[in-house]
Amino acid sequence: MAKELLTDVTVRNAKPTDKDKRLNDGSGLYLLIKPNGAKWWRFDYTIAGKRKTLSVGVYPSTGLADARRKVEEVRNQNANGIDPSNTRKEAKAGQRLIIENEKRVDAGLSAVDSFEFVALEWYDKRMLNKSESHQKRTLSLLKRDLFPWLGNRPIATIKAPELLEVLQRIESRNAIETAHRALQTSGQVFRYAEITGRVERDISQALKGALTAVNSGHFAAMTDPQQIASLLRACISPNNDILPS
């Protein structure tokens, strides 16, 4: 266990000087006293051969016991090969994302990296060279059949069975071809998410063969000679009519 050198009384009574002053508590933890009287807890540690410094609070809002507790957590991370500076940066980035998403949702916008956010980003990038009718059909499918159930979900958390449930909901309307188009479109969105680092893989690949097959239909063959002759006459221009009635 690290040898602790400071006491609450020492920290409370420490006075500033005309230069930065350090009061060491042992094993990397120290109180940095600035000339203006501000007191900052600091922790020096080494990871991957590099010396780093981490801020662990400001006195008196962070007392001596609190600073030691925080440093103990940092030491445990460091012992497991985790850089606490990176962990803190990730936590701050995550908190900023939460705040940003709350503002976006309040404004009626999709959350960052939700299925709707990524799908619309894909749409803007991939639909530019498509016909206007294709663009409208694709956007309508997204808004009608996919966004209501998947739109607000972080795209990385969506599993294949959940996507299948949405597609089967479309099938239940007897819209088999629409369900297949929805699978194709969602697959393009997930592949885009994969190459942009939002998901690890395209989950739609697991759903091949899971939907009801599209029935292309078969027309009955004509066997009556009169029917065949009538069909041929209908297909030939009047100026080239070579078949007698």
128: CATH: 1.10.150.130
Q: Are residues 124 and 191 in the same domain?
A: yes
Q: Which tokens sit at 241?
A: 């009519």
Residues 123 and 203 in one domain: yes
Do both 119 and 203 map to the same domain? Answer: yes
- Dist CA 218 CA 182 (whole Å): 25
Higher pLDDT, 60 or 233: 60
Taking the C-alpha atoms of residue 105 and residue 116, their distance in angstroms, rounded to an integer, is 12
Q: For residues 133 and 78, state if they share a domain.
A: no
Identify the domain containing residue 32 by its residue range: 8-82
CA–CA dist 208, 187 (Å, integer): 11
Q: Which of 24-28, 79-83, 134-138 has the highest average model confidence (pLDDT)?
A: 134-138
Q: Is residue 227 part of a domain?
A: no
Position 233 in a domain = no
The domain that contains 18 carries what CATH number? 3.30.160.390
Residue with tokens 């194709």: 184
- Do both 127 and 203 map to the same domain? yes
- Degrees, nearest 5: CA angle 32-35-39: 35
Q: Is the full-model pTM beyond 0.75?
A: no
Residue 183 counted as domain residue: yes
52 lies in a domain? Answer: yes
pLDDT at 173 over 70: yes
| 104 in a structural domain | no
Domain final residue, candidates 62, 82, 102: 82
Q: Are residues 49 and 120 in the same domain?
A: no
Listed ranges 9-23, 47-61, 229-243; the one with the highest mean pLDDT: 9-23
Exposure string of 52-72, with b = 16+ CB inside 10 Å and e = fewer, is eebebbebeebebeebbebbe
Q: What is the pLDDT of residue 211?
A: 95
Res. 5: pLDDT tops 50: yes
* pLDDT score of 226: 54
Same domain for 20 and 78: yes
Check residue 86 and give its pLDDT. 80
199 and 137 within one domain: yes
Q: Give how far Cα 89 sits from Cα of 2, 82, 84, 93, 142, Å.
A: 26, 12, 9, 6, 35
Does a structural domain hold residue 222? no
194, with CB counted inside 10 A (0-12, 13-18, 19+), is middle
Residue 234 resides in a domain: no
169: pLDDT confidence band, cut at 50, 70 and 90? very high
Residue 106 lies in a domain: no
Question: Is 65 found in the same domain as 126?
Answer: no
- Cβ atoms of 162 and 198 within 8 Å: the answer is no
Instruction: Give the residue, 35 or 103, on which the prediction is more confident.
Output: 35
Whose CA is closest to 150, among 182, 174, 177?
182
